[in-house]
Structure 1
């Protein structure tokens, strides 16, 4: 008689997962957590997401000169790069923490607590109050934890059979997490739809504004930048990581501080007033000599001085602290908002409601001042105060307090390194000295005598002016230099200075070839 004794199933020996595979699981789980926190922010129509809040903290902590150097290096890509860099750093930290989940399980737990603290501190520093932003952080953290356990289960639990079985189960779960996170994120974006709703409100607006006719003599038409800058081409420089989305019916401006009475103004009250329309050139203090961070548009809005008069300004005040919906601030000389210049609460640009990126529904436009002390987009608060009592976003980072625009000129044609046909050539560009005006532009070719250029016609001193000089040049290499003199008698200095603290100086030049 033969007796069969059943042996216990001891399973198949499994190969422990490598730290690299665990790191991949961590990155996928972390990405799903970030995606769902963003979806929550969209669904709740929050002004910023947890990642955006962390990026904003990094932005605010960056010294002024370093920030300016980075903007000079990457231009308007600074915000996408900051957001992308923040995400990459977070994923790198999460992936590294997950790589220790088998050997030292405490590491992911500590990182979980640390990132949770950072996220909560960041959202509360940007938008204190309310439960929406902390909820978005918690949703992201819990998604990360659940996803990490789901993904690492097949890798760490021997009950999932052979190595091949575990790999198949792992890959299936990666697909499940990725597809699920993508679907929830898309649903959150659709449910929120704040940008979509604001764009719809903007399209439906019918404002009593004109597009403005370009003066016949303003555009010299020789390849110079158009005298009117189209909205789509107008430069964009701001610190907002995402443009605030404000419906007109939700917008309100508060005027307070050193005033006789606090004033609150809604959008319909504002556009129901008689609107002032004016051509105004704006320029950024970060504009290098010869740079393109300058544009000219036809603005429609209400003079700021009218609303300040309604509030009754105290005689001791000398500035107005402006605040944007995203918390950005600038301090503006009071006199620039109350004198005879067209300092506007603008609602339209070139005959259209302001684009969202340019401050919809309301922004401030002040001729003669750099944007960092005046041109608040998405403005919601004006506090009448004193320079001695406040500091604003850029001034506390080492930039000048008052920011008057410096007289500047630029060469647009020919381009640097361009080859031209021999004979008579056109040299042209633009010059600006807002609220002062350009008196003349002079051009020097190959170190010779200065020659006065022809100027285009302009409606007033608050816009740039085109200039043109036609001259005969021999074949060979040439250099052209330009300088402007404003109506106060000041002529641009050849001394080159940095944009920090209050704008660059120097003469623009181009090298080109004839023949």
Structure 2
């Protein structure tokens, strides 16, 4: 038999890459149709997150901030393109070897969807079907002799058709990601016995450029380890409580809401927040006091930790003392007077004032185990972070910004300070090597929120360094020692340099 002429390598690479993307597009479509949480692309991304050492993850967050998740997805897509293209070149030269290569490439997403908490047998079937689509397209297009003989225009036309079909199919799949819309529908239908609380009087200092004391849900910072949030309808949610307790308990959503909801203003911040960073937000939360639930199950006296687990498998250990000392630690079901947004933990999450989120703020919480710190390691402590994460006393300059030019004369300097569950007693500002000067503080409704501050400066021409420090109500002054976020939060004075003209 006369050997067929093979496509040139460049064209084979393009076709192979598009075949892989077409398979991924079909997977997205099937994921949307079946209302599955994780597509193969997202499952691979979450596996990468799971396997990444804590120090590496921290450096990534430092480098790209909130773009870490989108960039990870882009990286997985680029990897799909490169590996699919290479398999296309191989299949053009030796069909059987190329088919084996495509099958081997399917092993990675298959392992990801089977090992991630959001995966399922249905997700595995989607991977297999997408792999079949990839192989069929690649074999059909690369076994033809036409791509060596046809003109460039025809080749580009066929590539454009395949590429457009891939985008359309994948886009429809994401649009039909109706598992999300179904949960959103259930969320919208909830009628909870809380209203939107008014912003307390006196919390703003009236300086332009200072971040709003009340953070809208859309602007609230978000840091978590999942690419796609767990999708749980309220009627499907349960919280299993077990471990070192007198009796186990399983709560449903209705059980929780029927206990009555309390509202509290609480500022949450991330342990990854650098000095002067923006991974901190403030809002009013509504929920059931965690202490009441723990009192009901009867905690053994030698227990010192609560290991909470999210529906996506993430977990953290929280000191029991911080959950039972009377602070407003909540099993929260509302945020800013509305049911929690899906991305912020709907239907139920934990909110604990005074602790960084990595040891307390479990979203999509489905399990509690009352235990001891000595008996477990949680998600971030396995990656080198401290087992307990009390929030450090911190302050930030919001205006002026580093590098700004300001006119000489009276200049308003302002920002925020926080020391949740201790409260802020004082904020001081220093220019260059001068004395620390007291700033004016706004009012706050409790010690669990940040506070705005302002200071009037008689600015003189030249370059000046402006620093801020806070003192909490325990009398502890914010340290000047500069330290990174690992293992339990950054320290140092936030300093900006401005030019007075």
Give TM class, smaller chain: over 0.9
Alignment match of 1:315 (pick from 295, 301, 323): 301
**Most deviating of 499-508 and 478-487:** 478-487
Alignment match of 1:57 (pick from 42, 47, 55): 47
Distance 2:14 2:169 in 1: 21
Residue 59 of structure 1: how far off its partner (Å):
1.1
Question: Do the aligned partners of residues 144 and 479 (structure 1) sit closer, same or farther apart at CA in structure 2, a change above 3 Å counting?
Answer: same
> Which secondary structure state, in structure 2, belongs to the residue aligned with residue 99 of structure 1?
helix
Question: Do the aligned partners of residues 128 and 436 (structure 1) sit closer, same or farther apart at CA in structure 2, a change above 3 Å counting?
Answer: closer
Contact 1:14 1:162 in 2 (8 A): no
Residues 130-169 of structure 1 correspond to what in structure 2 (within 5 A)?
Answer: 130-155=120-145, 163-164=149-150, 168=154
Residue 182 of structure 1: how far off its partner (Å):
4.7
Contact 2:6 2:148 in 1 (8 A): no
Contact 2:429 2:436 in 1 (8 A): yes
Residue 65 of structure 1: how far off its partner (Å):
0.9
Alpha-carbon deviations, 1:214-244, whole Å to 9, x = none?
2222111102111111111111111111122
Segments of structure 1 that go 5 or more residues without pairing to the other structure are 1-9
Question: Do the aligned partners of residues 442 and 192 (structure 1) sit closer, same or farther apart at CA in structure 2, a change above 3 Å counting?
Answer: closer
Q: Which residue of 2 aligns with 1:222?
A: 207
Q: Which residue of 2 aligns with 1:202?
A: 187
Contact 2:386 2:487 in 1 (8 A): yes
Residues 116-135 of structure 1 correspond to what in structure 2 (within 5 A)?
Answer: 116-127=106-117, 130-135=120-125
> Which secondary structure state, in structure 2, belongs to the residue aligned with residue 231 of structure 1?
coil
Residue 450 of structure 1: how far off its partner (Å):
0.9
Distance 1:176 1:476 in 2: 61
Q: Which residue of 1 aligns with 2:436?
A: 450
Larger Rg: 1
Q: Which residue of 1 aligns with 2:336?
A: 350
Segments of structure 2 that go 5 or more residues without pairing to the other structure are none
Distance 1:268 1:143 in 2: 44
Residue 112 of structure 1: how far off its partner (Å):
2.4
Q: Which residue of 2 aligns with 1:233?
A: 219
Alpha-carbon deviations, 1:89-141, whole Å to 9, x = none?
12211111210223333432332232232222211111388421210110111
Q: Which residue of 1 aligns with 2:482?
A: 496
Contact 1:320 1:332 in 2 (8 A): yes
Distance 1:435 1:179 in 2: 54
> Which secondary structure state, in structure 2, belongs to the residue aligned with residue 120 of structure 1?
helix
TM-score normalized by the length of structure 2: 0.94
Contact 1:154 1:166 in 2 (8 A): no
Alignment match of 1:243 (pick from 210, 213, 229): 229
Residue 171 of structure 1: how far off its partner (Å):
5.8
Distance 1:406 1:371 in 2: 13
Residue 200 of structure 1: how far off its partner (Å):
2.1
Question: Do the aligned partners of residues 166 and 101 (structure 1) sit closer, same or farther apart at CA in structure 2, a change above 3 Å counting?
Answer: farther
Q: Which residue of 2 aligns with 1:383?
A: 369
Contact 1:278 1:299 in 2 (8 A): yes
> Which secondary structure state, in structure 1, belongs to the residue aligned with residue 32 of structure 2?
helix
Number of aligned residue pairs: 500
Distance 2:485 2:372 in 1: 25
Residue 449 of structure 1: how far off its partner (Å):
0.9
Contact 1:64 1:397 in 2 (8 A): yes
Question: Do the aligned partners of residues 451 and 187 (structure 1) sit closer, same or farther apart at CA in structure 2, a change above 3 Å counting?
Answer: closer
Residue 373 of structure 1: how far off its partner (Å):
0.6
Task: State yes or no: 1:113 paired with 2:103.
Answer: yes
Q: Which residue of 2 aligns with 1:513?
A: 499
Contact 1:150 1:173 in 2 (8 A): no
Residue 26 of structure 1: how far off its partner (Å):
0.4
> Which secondary structure state, in structure 1, belongs to the residue aligned with residue 72 of structure 2?
helix
**Most deviating of 445-454 and 246-255:** 246-255
**Most deviating of 202-211 and 317-326:** 202-211
Q: Which residue of 1 aligns with 2:178?
A: 193
Question: Do the aligned partners of residues 24 and 297 (structure 1) sit closer, same or farther apart at CA in structure 2, a change above 3 Å counting?
Answer: same
Q: Which residue of 1 aligns with 2:36?
A: 46
Task: State yes or no: 1:370 paired with 2:370.
Answer: no
Distance 1:185 1:431 in 2: 45
Q: Which residue of 2 aligns with 1:407?
A: 393
Residues 245-284 of structure 1 correspond to what in structure 2 (within 5 A)?
Answer: 245-284=231-270
Residue 412 of structure 1: how far off its partner (Å):
0.9
TM-score normalized by the length of structure 1: 0.92
